Chains A and B, each alone.
Chain A
Amino acid sequence: MARLTLNALGKTFGTTTAVAAFSLDVKDGELVCLLGPSGSGKSTLLRMVGGFETPTSGEVLIDGEVVTRTPPERRPTAMVFQSHALWTHMNVFGNIAFGLRIRRLPKAEIASRVGRVLALVGLEGYGKRQTNQLSGGQQQRVAIARALVLEPKILLLDEPFASLDQHLRERLREEVRDIQHRLGITTLFVTHGQDEALSLADRIVVLKEGRAEQVGAPAEVYRSPATPFVAGFIGSMNRLPGSVEAGRFRHGALELPLEGVPDGPAELAVRPEHLVVRAAPGGGAASLRRLTDYGTHRIIDLETSEGARLKAQVADGADLPQGPGLQLEPTAWAVFRNDQVIARSPA
C-alpha cells in the first residue's frame, strides 16, 4: 500500500543520458508498465527506484518520503530480476527465507510466511528443492515469492519473463496480475514486449531515449498514439507518407478530408484492423499482393500505386480481385507531422 513519485529523475553515464528528467506518479495499488526498446532507459529507471543506481538529478519518493540516496537494503522495494538471480547455494526455502532471517524473525514465523508465499505462487512443498532442480518458470516463481515474502511497498519487475517461452510467459503474466490484484501492491513492470504491457498494465509509459513519449491507459496508448514512435512501437501500424493539400491528406488515389490543417508533408498512420478494403471496379489506390490466414484472422498485404506497402485485416479476402483495383477506407487513423499529431479520426 504505497504511492511512488518520481520527480524529474535523471541519470547520465559519462556523456550519454540514460534517463532525462523523468517524472511519474504511481498510485497506490497501481501497476505501471515501462515499455520501450533496449537502451530506452527503462531498466535504469527501475534500478534507480530499487536503489541500485544513484540518480544524477531529481528524486524518488515512496509515500512522500525521499529515498533517493537510501541503499537498496533499507528501501521498502523488492525487485524480481530478469535472470531470476536465485542463490544457487541455497534451496528454495533458503532463498525465500533469507530476507526474513536478516530481519531476525522467529523460526516459526519464517516457516509459515515462506509456506504462505510458496502457496501463493503455486509451489507448495517445493521448499527443500535445489534451485537447479526447477524449470525456468518455477525458478521465476521462486524469485517472485522471494520478493513478495518481504511484503514490500513497491514491487519492481525487470523483464521477469523475457527468458521464458511464449506459453509460460502468458500464464505467469496472468498469475502475476492475479497476485498483484489480490495483494493490491504498487508495481512497476519493465518490458520491451507491447503485448505484455497491454495485457498487464493499468497505465503504460512508452519510453524512448530516456524520455516518456506517452503515458496512458493501454487502450489510450493503442488507440491514440501521441507520436509516430508510439504508433509504430505498439501493435502493428501502417505508415503512409503523403501530403496535405487544401484540407485533404493525399497518398496517390487515397484521400482523407482533414479540417484546419495547414498544407505540407504528412504521414498517415492506420492499423490493419482499421483499414477497410473494397473492390473498386474503376481501379483503386492499391493492389493485392498476398493473403495470410492466421486462424483467428486474415491479413492481406497491399501495395499502393505509390509503391508503399500496407497490411489490412479482412474477414474473408477471397472475394478481392487480383491486381490494381482496391479501394482503401481508413476508419480510425492519425496524421503526423514532425513527430506531432496534427489530425485524428473523429472518435
Chain B
Amino acid sequence: MSADTVAVRRRARRRPDWAGLGLGLALTLVILVPMLVVITWSFSNVWRYPSILPQQMGLKFWQATLARADVWSALVTSLSLASVVTLLSTVICLPAAYAFARLKFWGRDVLFFSFLAGQAFPKFGLLVAIAAIFLQLNLISTFWGVVLIQLVGTLLFMIWIPVAAFQAVDRRMEEAARDAGAGPLRVFWSITLPQAAPTIFSAVLLSFVGTFYETEGAWLIGAPQIRTMPVLMITFINNQPVIQYGAVLSVLLWVPSLVALVFTRRVIGSSTFARGFGG
C-alpha cells in the first residue's frame, strides 16, 4: 500500500461511512453479543429462564473447571501441538514458498495449485481416508499422528501467504546484497526474510491459532488418547447438562488468540498486519 492510498483512505474516512458503520454494527451483533453471553454464562453460578440477568454471579464453575486435571492436560496438549505444528510448518513451508516465489522448476504451477486442492474437497471424507492409512501405520491416537494431520491443514496459507510476501520483495534489494558480497543463503537470511517478515508473521500466527482450534482432525486421529482443548469442550458439551462448563472452556480457548493478537499489534503495526492479508 502506497502512502498515497493511505492518505486517500484517511480523507475518505472523515465523512460518515454509513456502509462501514452498518457492517460494523452487524459484525458486533453477530460476534460480540454471543461472546458476551458466553462470558456471562461462565461467571454465573445460577442463571435460570426467564431471568435476563443471572440470579447469582461467581467463580464457582471457573474453580470447578480449573480444578480438573483433564482440562490442564488438554491445555498443555493443545499448546504443545500448536507450537510443534507451527514450528514444523514454518521450517517446511518457508523454503518451499521461497522456491515457488523465486525459482522456476518443472511442475511448479501444478504443485502450487495442488495445495488448494487439499482444501477444495469435503475435509471429513479426506480425514477418514487418512485415518484408515494412519491406522496401519500405528499413528492413530498418537501425538505425532495429530501433528501430521494438522500440519496438512496449515500448508495452504503457510505456502500461499509467504509466496506473496517473497514475491513482493524488490529483487534489486537482493541483487544489491549479492553485489555487496553476500551469497544466496545470506541474502535470504539478511534481506529477503526480514523484508517479508511482517507478512510471514501473520501467516505463522494464523497457523498457530488455526491449529489450536482445529477439531476434526485432532478428534478423528487423536481420540481417545490425545485430547485437545476443543475436543475436550465438545465432550463437555455433549456429556454435561450444565452449560457453564462449556462456557468456561470457550473463554479459556479465546485466550491464546487474544494474546496472539495483542502481541501482533505490539510487534508490527496494524497497517503492516493488514497488508499481510492483502489489505
Whole-angstrom distance between the alpha carbons of A150 and B180 in the complex?
7
Given contacts A99-B180, A102-B186, 17 further A-B contacts (CB under 8 A): A51-B179, A72-B175, A73-B183, A78-B180, A79-B176, A83-B172, A85-B170, A85-B172, A85-B176, A86-B173, A87-B191, A87-B194, A88-B195, A98-B180, A99-B182, A102-B181, A146-B180
Assess the A99–B172 pair: CB atoms within 8 A: no
Cβ of A67 to closest chain B Cβ, rounded Å: 13
Assess the A98–B177 pair: CB atoms within 8 A: yes
Residues of chain B lying within 8 A (CB to CB) of residue A86: 173, 176
B190 at interface by CB-CB < 8 Å: yes
Known A83-B172, A85-B170, A88-B195; contact A77-B190, beta-carbon cutoff 8 A: no
Known A87-B191, A88-B195, A98-B190; contact A73-B182, beta-carbon cutoff 8 A: yes
Is the interface on chain B under 10, 10 to 19, 20 to 34, or 35 or more residues?
Answer: 10 to 19
Partner of B181, one of A52, A73, A81, A83: A73
Cβ of A71 to closest chain B Cβ, rounded Å: 7
Cβ of B1 to closest chain A Cβ, rounded Å: 14
Residues of chain A lying within 8 A (CB to CB) of residue B123: none
A182 at interface by CB-CB < 8 Å: no
Residues of chain B lying within 8 A (CB to CB) of residue A128: none
Task: Annotate A195-215 by CB proximity to B: 1 below 8 A, 0 otherwise.
Answer: 000000000000000000000
B60 at interface by CB-CB < 8 Å: no
Residues of chain B lying within 8 A (CB to CB) of residue A98: 177, 180, 182, 190
Give chain A's interface residues, CB within 8 Å of chain B. Answer: 50-52, 71-74, 77-79, 81, 83, 85-89, 98-99, 102-103, 143, 146-147, 150
SS class of chain B's interface: helix, strand, loop or mixed? helix
Cβ of A103 to closest chain B Cβ, rounded Å: 6
Which has the most chain A C-beta neighbours within 10 Å: B173, B181, B195? B181
Assess the A89–B195 pair: CB atoms within 8 A: yes
Give chain B's interface residues, CB within 8 Å of chain A. Answer: 170, 172-173, 175-183, 186, 190-191, 194-195, 197
Assess the A73–B179 pair: CB atoms within 8 A: yes
Cβ of B169 to closest chain A Cβ, rounded Å: 10
Whole-angstrom distance between the alpha carbons of A74 and B186 in the complex?
14
Residues of chain B lying within 8 A (CB to CB) of residue A85: 170, 172-173, 175-176
Cβ of B90 to closest chain A Cβ, rounded Å: 19
Q: Which residue of B lies closest to A143 (CB)?
A: B176
Whole-angstrom distance between the alpha carbons of A71 and B178 in the complex?
8
Cβ of A146 to closest chain B Cβ, rounded Å: 7
The 8 closest A-B pairs by CB, nearest first: A99-B180, A85-B172, A72-B178, A85-B176, A89-B194, A102-B181, A81-B172, A73-B181
Residues of chain B lying within 8 A (CB to CB) of residue A74: 181
Cβ of A133 to closest chain B Cβ, rounded Å: 14
Assess the B176–A146 pair: CB atoms within 8 A: yes
Whole-angstrom distance between the alpha carbons of A74 and B172 in the complex?
17
Assess the B179–A77 pair: CB atoms within 8 A: yes
Known A88-B195, A89-B194, A89-B195; contact A102-B173, beta-carbon cutoff 8 A: no
Whole-angstrom distance between the alpha carbons of A237 and B161 in the complex?
54
9 A–B contacts from the bound complex (CB under 8 Å): A81-B172, A81-B175, A83-B172, A85-B172, A86-B176, A99-B181, A102-B180, A102-B186, A146-B176
Whole-angstrom distance between the alpha carbons of A99 and B191 in the complex?
12
Which has the most chain B C-beta neighbours within 10 Å: A51, A73, A74, A79? A73
